[in-house]
Amino acid sequence: MNSQAINHFLRQKNVSPEVRSLLYHIARSVKYINFSLRAGNTGISGTQNFSGESQLKLDVLADQIISHELENSDLVSILASEEKDMLEEFPSSRAKFVVAYDPLDGSSLVDANLAIGSIFGIWSGEKLEGKKGTDMEAAAYAVYGPRVTLTVALRDRGVHEFELNDVGEFLLTRENIRIEKKSKYFAPGNLRACEVLPAYKKLVDTWVAEKRTLRYSGGMVPDLHHMLSKGQGIFCYPGCAKHPDGKLRLAFECAPFAFLFTEAGGLALDQKGTNILKLPIKEPHQRTTIFIGSEDEVKHAVNFLKK
């Protein structure tokens, strides 16, 4: 197959040179992270991140790779990382983008050798505070699995998947990914919430009774990538007694995926029914509940939980 390389594809889509360049640097960091993963280095680092989660050496390394790469791009004014307490500021950069990223999503799956990923949200400007998913220029995520893929959502220009080949190029594998309104797949995160939210248990029981197909790995990236690959699905992460806003973070995880899924024709709501894209980022590490995927399924789940 003679597939298009990512740079050529983005040029054809009339993506601005600056966003193209930023995505080039993101793609480079994904290659380096993939290389580090294959080299081993899976132990814990002995430190904790802002959310109190213990960090793997790989969490720290992936964060450093992305941070160095994006600083060197000279395109970024603010970097927000899930693994850093504070924002990094680069006031002298020539173009002004804000990038929020989760360097390694699914760290707890590393020892089990399951697929993991990286997530990126890109905004124009010089401030993260107050930004919403709707303001994004682009979002992307990488999957480090048996194959390495990079999926990119461009504002009003669709969602496209590229695969890393042996000579280090990302080649187009799927163009204009779409997600159907209905789904037979379900990915019910945080089932601990059933304790305080009996309607959640009922919802999951209904899906089981309807003989729907469970697809849940415990990694947001591979779980959502499954849905985009099959063109349907619903992923839930509601709040529980201990974490009323759930676990997943708005800037690093939920807003970028809400942008990706909305560009693909899907939907992302929080537990109250607010569109995730409309939630302003007040604080980099802020959490939100999330219901994301096929539009009808997401609306049904959120309405069902309100009962």
Residues 88 and 28: their CA atoms lie apart, in Å, by 20
Work out which of 69, 102, 137, 180 binds Mn ion, going by CB under 5 A. Answer: 102
CB-CB contact of 281 with 132 (8 Å): yes
Query: Does 63 engage in binding with Mn ion (CB under 5 A)?
Result: no
Single-letter amino acid code for the residue at 89: E
Please identify, using beta-carbon distances, which residue of 102 and 135 lies nearer to ligand AHG. Answer: 102
- Which of 69, 105, 263, 297 forms a contact with Mn ion (CB under 5 A)? 105
Output phi, psi for 53, to 5 deg. -90, 140
- Is 135 a residue that touches Mn ion (CB under 5 A)? no
- Say which entry of Mn ion, ligand AHG, none residue 247 contacts (CB below 5 to 8 A, set by partner kind): ligand AHG
**C-beta of residue 254 within 8 angstroms of C-beta of residue 280:** no
Give residue for tokens 């081993």: 40
- 287 forms part of the interface with ligand AHG (CB under 6 A): no
Q: Which of 33, 106, 143, 279 binds ligand AHG (CB under 6 A)?
A: 106
* Strand ranges (E), 12-135: 44-48, 54-56, 76-81, 88-89, 97-105, 116-124
Binding mask 184-223 vs ligand AHG (x if CB under 6 A, - otherwise)? -----xx---------------------------xxx---
Tokens of 166: 């042996």
- Site residues for Mn ion per CB under 5 A: 82, 102, 104-105
- Site residues for ligand AHG per CB under 6 A: 53, 82, 102, 105-108, 189-190, 218-220, 247
